């Protein structure tokens, strides 16, 4: 048995929801020596970095929070259904202070590499400050949407005005008043930012590659009586979201969209539309994700809404999604998004109708042979999702192999928690777990609890390594791919399918299990109960 004593029992990388909870669990419940490294100045992760106007959660706040601090569930008051970024950041700061977590966190420090030593059974972890520390376990709490994707557009460096990516928005904000502003992208972030920027800018030009299906958020104050009821029923809520498909209180209609009358269908669609939020996406007819004909009916409803909201038929046509099924891209929630295109100061440049972006010039953007002068460019171009932040860790596992090498054809993991060849390394909401297809705090808590229990069990049985077995991993990868192949998901050029990054191998990144997060949780529990079946412990 290796005898070397590491400096830390565990290194946790990242201090968002995942890192905060992982530290709390390992340090305060297991009594381990843990250090968290975070590239940002403080805790928060997503809610530290994404400061663009309109940034807010799309999950209902009463479930977009930690459920392990039951007292805080009662004490904390969210100001609206989907709080804005500063409020969520304040919440995460509060949790860190309340549990005295920052004393074990190192900020403004990026992990740039780590290697596994098979003799000592330890990781050596390197920082961008030139330090190296050893630890028995490394836990990636690096987030799924944290590796910024700035597209490699010709002339990017030539622009003389101000430009930024939405996830690197300056802390002091940007004053758009009286400015000509471009937003590049029309994904979920852009859909939040565009109506806000349009209110300030003199002229807002939106560069769209693919039109999205947006549904109304219906943000606002939550009825105090509903807040009271929810607080009285938190134990029930937590149990329901843990057992649910998407980590939310949304359930499919247990019928085919094709088996009901047109009137009944329209009533259901209206009900979901009026409810707002993810209801239309995640509580629709059960065959919506599987059957093109059923999906077309849902898509058609949204297309009709677009046409009835956007006054200019030519603009409505550009905003109407084509060529992919509804729900197969991340659902953007809209607050006055479509209405914004009725404003005089808003221009839509569509890659198909008007021509794609060709070049960023010193003074603006050239698309379809035409120059659009700008003072400010906002890139709402998303992330190298899920695998990006993990690859950027530059880990060297057994035999010096890197994630870049073992994931050359797409991610391969066991349960989205571990990777064969990388002992004692865990990923929170890693690729091939439900992750981004769920309400994230639910999936984060499930992984944190599983990893903590696993480390606890290893210590009790005096094991020093755990590693996913290649056969178990192969089976899991095949299972993930088989399940998604039966859905409409592979037909979209979405970031779920790795299609937003040139050269990224086309692969479905999360896990869309047959019983959702509830079924996935049970699978993980079974694995643990069967002495970590599919893992090798030594
Ligand atoms: C704009 C936006 C809105 C979202 N809205 C929702 C929502 O409504 N519902 C939902 O469920 N999810 C939402 N998400 C997903 C969101 O990322 C998760 O809900 C959650 O915040 C993830 O927490 P995390 O701690 O796992 O990751 P993150 O919050 O991404 O934190 C990861 C941290 O790791 C740090 N890090 C990464 N690599 C390194 C390194 N090498 N060294 C040091 N530090 C590193 C990063 O700096 C970051 O702070 C949203 C995401 C975005 C971008």
The Å distance, Cα 49 to ligand 1 centre, comes to: 9
Q: Rounded CA gap, 146 and 14, in Å?
A: 10
Q: Which helix (H) or strand (E) holds 288?
A: none
If you take atom 49 of ligand 1, which residue's CA is the nearest one?
Answer: 45
Ligand 1 in reach of 57 Cβ (< 6 A): yes
d(CA 428, CA 445): 9
| pLDDT at site 4 | 77
User: Which tokens hold the place of 444?
Assistant: 């984060």
Could you list the mean pLDDT of each consecutive 10-residue stretch along the chain, which spans 538 residues? 81 99 98 98 98 98 98 98 98 98 98 97 98 98 98 96 98 98 98 98 98 98 98 98 97 98 98 98 98 98 98 98 98 98 98 98 98 98 98 98 97 98 98 98 98 98 97 98 98 98 97 96 98 97
d(CA 422, CA 123): 10
Q: Is 37 in the pocket of ligand 1 (CB under 6 A)?
A: yes
- Give CA torsion, residues 47, 494, 386, 56, to 10 deg: 10
Q: What gap in Å lies between CA 372 and CA 454, rounded to an integer?
A: 56
Q: 12, 13, 16: which to mutate for ligand 1, most atoms within 8 A of CB? A: 16
Q: Which of 182, 154, 176, 162 is nearest to 349 (CA)?
A: 182
* Alpha-carbon span 347 to 101, nearest angstrom: 47
Residue given tokens 């376990």 in the structure block: 137
Q: How far is the CA of 43 from the centre of ligand 1 (A)?
A: 11
Q: How far apart are alpha carbons 137 and 12 in whole angstroms?
A: 8
The CB-side HSE value for 179 (13 A sphere, CA atoms) comes to 19
For ligand 1, is residue 389 a contact (CB within 6 Å)?
yes
Model confidence over 477-496: pLDDT tens digits?
A: 999 999 999 999 999 999 99
| 376: three-class secondary structure by DSSP | strand
Q: Residue 523: name the closest of 261, 385, 250, 514 by CA.
A: 514
Whole-angstrom distance, CA of residue 398 vs CA of residue 41:
33
Average confidence score pLDDT of the chain: 98
CA distances from 324 to 210, 212, 292, 417, 502 (A): 10, 10, 10, 30, 19
Look at residues 61, 67, 62 and name the one whose alpha carbon lies nearest to residue 24: 67
Strand partners, 426: 139
């Amino acid at each position: 048995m290796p005898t070397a004593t590491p400096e830390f029992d565990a290194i946790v990388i990242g201090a968002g929801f995942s890192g905060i909870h992982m530290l709390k669990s390992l340090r305060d419940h297991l009594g381990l020596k843990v250090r968290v490294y975070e590239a940002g100045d403080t805790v928060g992760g997503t809610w530290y970095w994404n400061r663009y106007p309109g940034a807010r959660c799309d999950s209902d706040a009463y479930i977009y929070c930690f459920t392990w601090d039951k007292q805080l569930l009662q004490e904390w008051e969210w100001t609206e259904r989907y709080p804005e970024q500063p409020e969520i950041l304040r919440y995460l700061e509060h949790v860190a202070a309340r549990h005295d977590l920052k004393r074990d966190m190192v900020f403004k420090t990026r992990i740039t590499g780590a290697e596994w030593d098979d003799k000592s059974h330890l990781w050596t972890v390197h920082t961008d400050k030139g330090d190296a520390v050893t630890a028995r376990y490394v836990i990636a709490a690096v987030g799924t949407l944290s590796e910024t994707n700035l597209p490699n557009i010709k002339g990017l460096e030539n622009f003389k005005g101000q430009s930024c990516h939405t996830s690197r928005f300056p802390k002091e904000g940007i004053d758009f008043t009286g400015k000509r502003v471009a937003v590049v992208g029309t994904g979920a972030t852009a859909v939040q930012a565009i109506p806000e920027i349009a209110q300030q800018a003199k002229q807002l030009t939106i560069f769209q590659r693919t039109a999205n299906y947006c549904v109304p958020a219906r943000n606002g104050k939550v009825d105090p009586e509903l807040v009271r009821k929810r607080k009285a029923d938190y134990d029930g809520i937590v149990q329901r979201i843990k057992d649910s498909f998407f980590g939310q209180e949304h359930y499919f209609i247990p019928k085919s969209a094709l088996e009901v009358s047109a009137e009944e269908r329209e009533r259901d669609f209206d009900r979901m539309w009026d409810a707002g939020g993810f209801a239309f996406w995640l509580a629709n007819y059960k065959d919506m994700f599987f059957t093109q004909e059923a999906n077309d009916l849902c898509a058609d409803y949204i297309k009709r809404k677009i046409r009835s909201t956007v006054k200019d038929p030519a603009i409505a046509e550009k905003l109407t999604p084509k060529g992919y099924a509804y729900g197969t891209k991340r659902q953007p929630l809209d607050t006055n998004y479509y209405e914004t295109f009725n404003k005089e100061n808003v221009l839509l440049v569509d890659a198909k109708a008007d021509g794609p972006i060709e070049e960023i010039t010193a003074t603006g953007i050239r698309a379809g042979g035409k120059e659009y002068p700008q003072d400010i460019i906002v890139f709402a171009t998303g992330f190298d999702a899920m695998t990006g932040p993990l690859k950027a860790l530059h880990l060297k596992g057994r035999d010096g192999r890197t994630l870049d090498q073992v994931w050359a054809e797409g991610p391969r993991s066991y349960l989205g928690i571990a990777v064969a060849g990388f002992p004692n390394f865990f990923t929170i909401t890693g690729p091939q777990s439900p992750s981004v297809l769920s309400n994230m705090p639910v999936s984060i808590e499930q992984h944190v609890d599983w990893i903590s229990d696993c480390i606890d069990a290893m210590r009790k049985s005096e094991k020093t390594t755990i590693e996913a077995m290649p056969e178990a991993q192969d089976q899991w990868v095949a299972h993930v791919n088989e399940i998604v192949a039966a859905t409409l998901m592979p037909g979209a050029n979405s970031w779920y399918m790795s299609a937003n990054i040139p050269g990224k191998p086309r692969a479905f990144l999360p896990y869309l299990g047959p019983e959702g997060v509830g079924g996935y949780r049970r699978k993980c529990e079974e694995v643990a109960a069967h002495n970590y079946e599919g893992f090798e412990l030594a």
